[in-house]
Chains A and B, each alone.
Chain A
Amino acid sequence: MLDVQSLVKSYDKNTIFHHLSFKVWPGEIIGLVGENGAGKSTLLRILATIDKPDSGNIKLFDFPYETNRKEVRKSIGYVPQDIAIWEELSVRENMIFFEKLSHKSKSETQLRELCLEMNLDKWQEQAKTLSGGMKRKLNLAITLIHDPDILLLDEPTVGIDLKSKIEIGSYLLKQAKEHNKMIIYTSHDMDEINELCDRVMCIGKDLFYENILVKSGKEIISI
């Protein structure tokens, strides 16, 4: 379980989070919505241990972030908004590259299966020649190499075609429901949020997103 307690984060005197608290249970998909600059990516970066909060406590499976950063990172899969792959390497080489640096070792067959599960079948193709959707799938597949317990995805489906979006969505749903993974992800696509997420967190002062969610009847995490 991910337990966030009284998280505070400010940038240049602007408070982004003021004593933010919430919990995420295994098998849950949490959507993060809000206007640009509201702090969605900052929250994900803090949960991914890349950024530090001003105050507050975060625990992953009872391991406090503050004292167990190295251990906690083994359980985190973070997908940044920018596609974090080696453009000059092929899909296969990208997977092997990160497997070599991963906490868990996997065979080439297992790595290929991981890609195929997401319909990423262009194994030998150079990453820079892949379509936007395929690149997003590779971006996600690399994150899953070490089999993380929690997935933190920063707009994983932005700018891609509908088919790839649906494929990624159903894959995430499968990861949460069948493999009991916690997933927190940001998106501006409210249909996608409504369809995939168990609960939604609205970040920022603008009530636009919250109003939409209230109308759809989706459970909102109050912050």
Chain B
Amino acid sequence: MMDILFTRLLLWRKKAISMLFWLLLPAIGTSLFITTVTTIKEDSRVPIGIVIGDESELATQLIDSIEASKLVRVSKYSEEEGLYNLEKHEIDSIFVIHDGFEQAILSGKRNNLISSYRTELSFAYSPVKELIVSLVQEESGRAKATQFILNMKEEYNGKESWTWDEITDKSKEIQIDENLLNTSFSYSNTNEPVESPSLLSWDTWGVWAIFSLLSALFLMDWAIREKSLAVTTRFSFIKTTQFSYYLNNILCYLLLFLLFDLINVVVFTIFLNEPLSIHFIFVLLTFRIMLCSLTYCLAQCFSKTGVFYGFSIIITLILVVISGTFIPILPHNDLIDFLNPLQAFINGNITILWNIIGISILAMVLFRKETTNA
């Protein structure tokens, strides 16, 4: 192994720059993609201004809810400041929460709670207004319900001593639990909810998987280039079998890939706050073994590197579409998931099936090489 690693290092040294490019592509590509997407997301939020005329708890809760929305980017101003920025078209619109907002809500008033300003260029005014109106309705409904419960307690001398905050907190808790968009379903005979993968936490590694596939394919071009060289005739006379020679070379590549994968793990954990676990290391290891074996076998099917590069780009694009890591275009389909070698990794699972397929084909390819030259 050491001798073969040494010989491979001699060859790697001669194309160190291109190799480094392809090895760093997954980390750099993923970081750039994630950073760009985050920036675009942030920039695409509608800038609005809020004038806080009421410092009450309810008003603060409403502002927090507006800020939590992915649609808007909120800046707090005084009314003059806000109008000045609106005139300069720095913001899309201004919403003024008037003094006595909480009182008005608690007394059941539903009109003139908030005023707004807009210009002829306030293109997002209508959806933002709808958003704020719905949030006000939500908060006022909650406040009225809380008030109603407290009134009932007093009227019927209830023994429970709930505070306003406890009731509103419980209300929010129920709202989250009952939200159909995020509900965890469970089978009737079990208590454990069926786990569904968290798409958000796998975004980074999903994008990385695509870049890794492309980089592994381009780095495996040696299998095509060296196959056609006269120098391979000499491999019939070396001290190891051809099976062992090529297997060790693939292992050298695997080690190199794993080294860079480790760097990627560190980079993503530190800079992109990706969670790290022992399970994930196994997921990554099996994914990398699968990539190494499959890309080598795929390269063996080609005799011209140019054709192989073209095929690599096409296969990567197909997997981008069916994986839905960059853009979730296709609806979820079990058969497509089954056929997609990246899916297990993207779902955060250990790659088993495609590893069995990859290693079996690899063994056959190497055995064929051995018997052809025996």
For A78, the chain B residues whose CB sits under 8 A away are 233-234, 236-237
Shortest Cβ distance from B235 into A: residue: A101
Asked if A101 and B239 make an inter-chain contact with CB atoms under 8 angstroms apart, the answer reads: yes
Which residues of B are interface residues toward A (Cβ below 8 A)?
A: 3-4, 6-7, 10-11, 14-15, 229-240, 245, 373-374
Answer yes or no: A25 CB below 8 A from chain B CBs. Answer: no
Shortest Cβ distance from B372 into A: residue: A50
Q: Considering the chains assembled together, what is the distance between the CA atoms of A80 and B373 in angstroms? A: 15
Interface 0/1 of A74-94, CB less than 8 Å to B = 101110101111101100010
Answer yes or no: A163 CB below 8 A from chain B CBs. Answer: no
- Determine which residue in B6, B14, B234 has the highest number of CB atoms from chain A within 10 A of its CB, and name it: B234
6 tightest A-B CB contacts, nearest first: A82-B230, A101-B238, A84-B230, A100-B3, A88-B14, A84-B231
Answer yes or no: A142 CB below 8 A from chain B CBs. Answer: yes
Q: Considering the chains assembled together, what is the distance between the CA atoms of A73 and B236 in angstroms? A: 8
For B234, the chain A residues whose CB sits under 8 A away are 78, 84, 98, 142-143
Smallest beta-carbon distance A50→chain B, Å: 6
Asked if A50 and B233 make an inter-chain contact with CB atoms under 8 angstroms apart, the answer reads: yes
Asked if A146 and B14 make an inter-chain contact with CB atoms under 8 angstroms apart, the answer reads: no
Smallest beta-carbon distance B87→chain A, Å: 66
Assign chain A's interface to a size class: 20 to 34
Contacting A76 at CB < 8 Å: which of B10, B237, B245?
Answer: B237
Asked if A103 and B7 make an inter-chain contact with CB atoms under 8 angstroms apart, the answer reads: no
Shortest Cβ distance from A45 into B: residue: B233
Judged by DSSP, the binding face of B is: helix
For B11, the chain A residues whose CB sits under 8 A away are 86, 88-89
Smallest beta-carbon distance B82→chain A, Å: 66
Shortest Cβ distance from B232 into A: residue: A84
Asked if A101 and B7 make an inter-chain contact with CB atoms under 8 angstroms apart, the answer reads: yes
Answer yes or no: A96 CB below 8 A from chain B CBs. Answer: yes
For B235, the chain A residues whose CB sits under 8 A away are 101
Q: Considering the chains assembled together, what is the distance between the CA atoms of A110 and B374 in angstroms? A: 30
Q: Considering the chains assembled together, what is the distance between the CA atoms of A105 and B234 in angstroms? A: 16
For B238, the chain A residues whose CB sits under 8 A away are 98, 101-103
Asked if B237 and A84 make an inter-chain contact with CB atoms under 8 angstroms apart, the answer reads: no
* Known contacts A88-B14, A97-B10; A103/B231 CB under 8 A: no
Answer yes or no: A175 CB below 8 A from chain B CBs. Answer: no
Contacting B10 at CB < 8 Å: which of A69, A85, A96?
Answer: A96
* Known contacts A76-B237, A101-B4, A103-B239; A89/B230 CB under 8 A: no
Q: Considering the chains assembled together, what is the distance between the CA atoms of A48 and B230 in angstroms? A: 15
Q: Considering the chains assembled together, what is the distance between the CA atoms of A209 and B42 in angstroms? A: 83
Shortest Cβ distance from A81 into B: residue: B230
Q: Considering the chains assembled together, what is the distance between the CA atoms of A143 and B230 in angstroms? A: 13
* Known contacts A86-B11, A101-B4, A101-B7; A146/B233 CB under 8 A: no
Q: Considering the chains assembled together, what is the distance between the CA atoms of A67 and B238 in angstroms? A: 18
Interface 0/1 of A123-152, CB less than 8 Å to B = 000000000000000000011001000000
Answer yes or no: A49 CB below 8 A from chain B CBs. Answer: yes
Asked if B14 and A69 make an inter-chain contact with CB atoms under 8 angstroms apart, the answer reads: no
Asked if A83 and B230 make an inter-chain contact with CB atoms under 8 angstroms apart, the answer reads: yes
Smallest beta-carbon distance A109→chain B, Å: 18
* Known contacts A76-B237, A78-B237, A146-B237; A50/B7 CB under 8 A: no
